Structure 1
Amino acid sequence: MQGMSERRYAAHVGLSRGAIQKAKSAGRLVLFADGSIDAAASDARRTATTDPAKQRQDSGDAKMKPVPDAALSAVGDTLRENGLAAPITGGGTTFLQAKTANEVLKAQERRLRLQKMKNELIDRPRAIALVFQLAREERDAWVTWPARVAALMAAELDIDPRRMQTVLEAQVRAHLAELAEIRPGFR
């Protein structure tokens, strides 16, 4: 036998024997007269006729771009948010975990798009403006309240209406100042 057998050539290139048989029948291998495989010539022909995207890379020769830490942490965050196992810090992310995170994100995106189409989502800037407007109207109502009720309360308690209004206004303003320190958290 001048060249290599199918099994030996399969081991040489790191493919299955079935893949070598397919390549042989497709004419991507160079054969000697006895039917054995010319390894050097076959390697060159396979390289020339095979789509580079479909070629296997040896782990030692592969020059893969490093995945940014932000992308890895986003994968972990997405998996944790959905109750799935996230990669251990420093242990890296497996392809399956990244693919799962991608599918989860796509499902979330589709759900949001559907909710938007059904008008179930709230426009954040509009919601903030409405809350601000409501809070301002509430504050304005409280600021004018002492002037409306002071005379009635003073008559009922038989005290000076002007003094009653002054005390009520001071108390209402103090309470509104406390409420103004509360900041709604819109995430």
Structure 2
Amino acid sequence: MRGMSERQYAAYAGVSRGAIQKARIAGRLVLFEDGSIDRAGSDARRAALTDPSKQRRSPPRPKLKAVPEEALSAVGETLREQGLSAPVVGASTTFLQAKTANEVLKAQERRLKLQKLKGELVSLDRAKTLLFRLAREERDAWVNWPGRVAAILSAELGVDTATMHQLLESQVRAHLGELADVRTDFR
């Protein structure tokens, strides 16, 4: 056999054997005397005689966008948080690593939603409001404290009540002034 069989040519051309048989019947193939298919001649004839609108085209491959470095580092960070091996930033991330990181992130997101539904987790704005309210109540309690205890302490120490109240109030206000400089960072 000088040329290719129908099966061989079909595998070479990337089409079914039936398509090759139809091409043979339609005269779009070049055959040797023994009935085998002349590959080069058949390629040229098929290209010239086959209607382009009836040819199957492979679907266009989507252009892949470059993945930002921040996303890759987030994948690595997520994997490391879970104790899994993570690629070095700048190295290629495998599909399996990215898929694992995605599943871990989805699980973390579900856990946070569940905690929020149970009331175990509150929004940052709500936490700030509650903390501000608590700090204000604490400050007000300390501002009123010298007036409540000045008389008791002055009686025990045998000093003037007004003087004791003045001393306690100045010390409490100084201390509250120091505490006012403390800033919370919610990041």
Same fold? TM cut 0.5 = yes
Percent identity for Structure 1 against Structure 2:
52
Secondary structure (helix, strand or coil) at the match of 2:154 reads helix
Matches within 5 A, 1:24-173: 24=16, 27=19, 32=29, 34=35, 48-53=56-61, 64-173=64-173
How big is the shift at 1:186? 2.6
Gaps of 5+ in 2: none
Matches of 1:9 and 1:25, distance apart in 2: 5
Match of 1:48, as an amino acid? R
Match of 2:16, as an amino acid? K
Matches of 1:92 and 1:102, distance apart in 2: 16
How big is the shift at 1:144? 1.0
How big is the shift at 1:132? 0.8
Matches of 1:136 and 1:110, distance apart in 2: 35
Secondary structure (helix, strand or coil) at the match of 1:99 reads helix
Match of 1:24, as an amino acid? S
Matches of 1:28 and 1:153, distance apart in 2: 109
Matches of 1:100 and 1:129, distance apart in 2: 37
Secondary structure (helix, strand or coil) at the match of 2:182 reads coil
Q: What is the CA deviation profile of residues 156-183 of structure 1, one whole-angstrom value per residue up to 9, with x for unaligned ones? A: 1111111111111111112212222333
How big is the shift at 1:135? 0.7
How big is the shift at 1:4? 8.0
Secondary structure (helix, strand or coil) at the match of 1:153 reads helix
Gaps of 5+ in 1: 14-19, 55-62
> Does the 8 A contact of 1:28 with 1:49 survive in 2?
no
Match of 1:165, as an amino acid? H
Change over 3 Å in CA distance of 1:160–1:75 after alignment to 2:
same
> Does the 8 A contact of 1:78 with 1:104 survive in 2?
yes
> Does the 8 A contact of 2:5 with 2:36 survive in 1?
no
Change over 3 Å in CA distance of 1:7–1:88 after alignment to 2:
farther
Matches of 1:180 and 1:148, distance apart in 2: 23
Alignment RMSD: 3.6
How big is the shift at 1:137? 0.4
Change over 3 Å in CA distance of 1:116–1:8 after alignment to 2:
farther
Change over 3 Å in CA distance of 1:110–1:180 after alignment to 2:
same
How big is the shift at 1:26? 7.2
